[in-house]
Amino acid sequence: MPNIGKPDLSEMLAQERRARLAAERLLDQKSRELHNANRKLSAHARLLSDEIIVKREEAKTFQSEAENLKGENTQVRADLQRANKQAVKAERRLWEALETIQDGFAVFNPRNQLVIANHSYMNIFDGLDSIRPGVTYPDILLLLVEEGLVDIGFEAPTTWQARMLARWKHDKIEPITLKLWDESYVKLIDRRARDGDMVSLALNITETIRYEEQLKEQRSRAEAANRAKSSFLANMSHEIRTPMNGVVGMADLLCDTDLSEEQQLYAETIRSSGETLLVIINDVLDYSKIEAQKLSLNPAPFDLERTIHEVLLLLKPSAQERGIDLLIDFDMFLPTRFVGDPGRVRQILTNLMGNAVKFTLEGHVLIRVTGFPGENGNHELRVTVEDTGIGIPAEKVDHIFGEFNQVDDERNRRFEGTGLGLSITCKLIALMGGEIWVESVEGEGSSFGFSLSLPTDEDTAVRVPSVETGLNKSALVVDDQQINRMILERQLSVMGFQVSSCRSGSEAMTTKSGSFDLIVTDYKMPDMDGLELSRRLRSRGEVAPILLLSSAPGDFGTLASDCGVNAVLQKPLLRRDLFRRVAELGIAMPEQNPAVDGQSEKSTSGGPPDKAGSGPPMTILAAEDNKTNQLVFRKMVGGLNVQVTFANNGREAVEAFQAARPDIIFMDISMPEMDGKEATRAIRAIEANSTLANVPICALTAHAMAGDDEEILASGMDHYLTKPLRKAAITAMIEQYLPGGVALHAPATTLSEEK
């Protein structure tokens, strides 16, 4: 039976068991939960510890960075301090430097207020209190004028201030010089900086101005001395030249007399030394004039071709001595009359052509003139002087244009000269706006050239005689020299001839008789000369007119016409002479042209071939007060077919001219009573009132100063020869104006004198 009041044991045990099971289950669950919680806890703890490690690392990095920054900061602070110190030092140095310099320095801000200025700048204001930082530039200008600190001359104060203010507004401010109250000078140099500040420099240029004033004074004193020197030289040159005329002239005449070899040597030495001395005097005179910039050009119309011809005529005797041919190749279509300084152009040509002849021992000297119309009616001329002479070594070519410079070698030392010619020539060409150049091959020859741009004188287009159209005329040129053949071929073909040419007389003899209308032959040829060729052509029945070209002096007497030559033409040959002769032969139609015909119109008046010794003598009037010079002149024309009348002064010359008009007048310039220029003006006035053509007048002058020749030509003279007179020059002049039909050389003694 169940025990009701008291639980039985099994129950109790079951309960206990159940309770224990439940407790075990709970324990198990709790222990699982604990395990889980433990696991989580340990995972969390691991995580935490990882984080702690990371954080610790980070903390470490931060700490080192903080330490770095701290270091850098100290460095930067030290740098800044150093930089500051340096800036202060630099500023102090700059300022000390600015204070030390004698020139003023100031800076204005963009509102034109003074920011800083050094003492020198402030000194300009002579201690004025109001000039201090902050004062404006317009106020400074006002004070400068009001206080009389600046000398503004006669300009109104307001105008001056306005001008000075306007100046600051320019982009590029020009420097300006101010004169101050204490006679000092400042030059203001202002520049606007990029930030708008104005930097102003006031340079003290008092010393420079004083120096300039001194220089000006010294220069004017030097110029006065130079003028005195020039006029001294001019007078000296006149004084030296007059007696030298006697010395050289007489020595020249003496050389022509019967002398022993020794005497001949002495006379030649006197003559050549005298001439050399005169060349030196002239060169030195010209050179000093160019150096003193006293040389001015005097443009006048002149005939270039004639000038070249005249220079060549003077060189002809020395060229002939060595058998050198002088040739002119003047561009066929180039005018001959230009406006330039005739005396100076002649001087340039004389130097270049003179050198070419001097330095050439055999061969030829060729003067080539070409040109083309340029701007403003000017002709662009190129003149070259080519020679087959000794040439110039390449390394010396630049050297020769310097003063007193010569190619100093064995070969060159044989030639006389001062070494001034080319230097003067160079300067003259530069003065005329031209250029000079040279090409040279040592041992082969030289070619000097220059360019000039010159206006042509009036309408001077060259017209050449032309053969009648449709007649198909032909001409034969015989010359051994290729250049000469070429020039002649060109000249004749311009006239309308069909031109053939031969190199020698024997080649010419192979041509068919009667196939030419004109034959032009050179005289001097190696195998057969021109006279012999003419004789042979005539004897085989040649009827064409024959022109003989010769460089030999004289006209061969009757020999030329005996050989059948129709006319002898002197080389170098002028275009106009060839044209005229051809026209006279009746093959071509002459064309009138003042540029080509000019003054030598009367020298050939047509008619038969030259006949030596025929015709009346040429009449010459010579005005010369000095008896020695009269004697020299008389002797120099002795042997020529001329009749000379002397006048002792200008008045007598005019009277003699009125009594009998001569063929040519030689006129001394300085004569008592009436000088040569005045006499010429009187003669030209008489001619102007008559229908007579002007008589050629050639001045004889002892003056050597530049400018004289222009004055001489301006008085109405056509030419001038400088003393001492040279026989060759006088003869060439006479030959140029020889009337047609009159032979130059008298067959017997036809020289007659009056007075």
DSSP string, 196-230: S-EEEEEEE-HHHHHHHHHHHHHHHHHHHHHHHHH
- Answer for which of 317, 419, 639, 707 binds ligand ADP (CB under 6 A) is 419
Closest CA to 500 of 526, 524, 531, 479: 479
Contact between 384 and ligand ADP by CB under 6 A: the answer reads no
Q: Which of 104, 389, 572, 716 binds ligand ADP (CB under 6 A)?
A: 389
Question: In the set 418, 460, 484, 630, which binds ligand ADP (CB under 6 A)?
Answer: 418
Binding mask 571-590 toward ligand ADP (x if CB under 6 A, else -) reads --------------------
* Cβ-based neighbours of 337, under 8 Å, separated by 6 or more: 301, 302, 303, 304, 456, 457, 458, 460, 595, 598
Which of the stretches 399-407, 545-553, 660-668, 684-692 binds ligand ADP when contact is defined by CB under 6 A? Answer: 399-407
The least CB distance from residue 445 to ligand ADP, in Å, is 7
* Rounded to 5°, angle at Cα 54 from 53 and 58: 120
State how far the alpha carbon of 550 is from the alpha carbons of 547, 584, 614, 622, 737, in Å: 10, 19, 20, 30, 18
Question: What pairs with residue 370 in β-bridges?
Answer: 382
Q: Does the protein bind ligand ADP through residue 564 (CB under 6 A)? A: no
Contacts of 364 (CB under 8 A, 6+ apart): 324, 325, 326, 327, 387, 388, 481, 483
Residue 356 binds ligand ADP (CB under 6 A): yes
Segment interacting with ligand ADP, rule: CB under 6 A, options 135-143, 216-224, 417-425, 692-700: 417-425
Backbone φ and ψ of 381, nearest 5°: -100, 145
User: Residue 118, interface with ligand ADP (CB under 6 A)?
Assistant: no
Closest-CA residue to 530 (of 557, 514, 548) = 548
Decide whether 317 or 739 has the Cβ nearer to ligand ADP: 317
Residue 406 in contact with ligand ADP, rule: CB under 6 A: yes
Cβ distance to ligand ADP smaller for residue 218 or 276:
276
- With beta carbons less than 8 A apart as the criterion, state whether 467 and 415 touch: no
The reply on whether position 570 binds ligand ADP by CB under 6 A is no
Q: Is 351 in the site for ligand ADP (CB under 6 A)?
A: yes
Token look-up 């100046």 returns: 167
b or e along 144-155 (b: 16 or more beta carbons within 10 Å of the residue's beta carbon)? bbeeebbebeee
Alpha-carbon distance 490 to 507, whole Å? 20
Contact region with ligand ADP (CB under 6 A), list: 71-79, 337-345, 387-395, 587-595: 387-395
Residue whose C-alpha is closest to residue 488's, from 609, 581, 557:
581
Considering only residues 431 through 470, tell me which ones interact with ligand ADP, judged by CB under 6 A. 446
Stretch that binds ligand ADP, among 79-87, 108-116, 231-239, 355-363 (CB under 6 A): 355-363
Residue 351 or 570 with smaller CB distance to ligand ADP: 351
203 contacts ligand ADP (rule: CB under 6 A)? no
Q: Cis omega before residue 545 (within 30°)?
A: no
Q: Which stretch binds ligand ADP (CB under 6 A): 11-19, 111-119, 351-359, 455-463?
A: 351-359
599 binds ligand ADP (CB under 6 A): no
Total residues contacting ligand ADP by CB under 6 A comes to 21
Binding segment for ligand ADP among 330-338, 367-375, 385-393, 518-526 (CB under 6 A)?
385-393
Of 77 and 414, which CB lies nearer to ligand ADP in the complex structure? 414
Q: Which range of residues in 107-115, 258-266, 342-350, 389-397 is near ligand ADP by CB under 6 A?
A: 389-397
Instruction: Find, among 471, 481, 472, 491, the residue nearest to 582 by Cα.
Output: 491
Structure tokens at 185: 């000078």
Binding-site member from 249, 417, 545, 572 for ligand ADP (CB under 6 A): 417
Which residue, 152 or 280, has its beta carbon nearer to ligand ADP?
280
Q: Is 193 exposed, middle or buried (0-12, 13-18, 19+ CB in 10 A)?
A: exposed
Task: For the CB of residue 353, give the shortest distance to ligand ADP in the complex, in Å.
Answer: 9
Tokens 């040129």 found at: 477
Beta sheet of 364-373, edge-to-edge order: 325-330, 364-373, 378-387, 445-455, 435-441
Binding site for ligand ADP (CB under 6 A): 351, 355-356, 359, 387, 389-392, 400, 406-407, 412, 417-423, 446
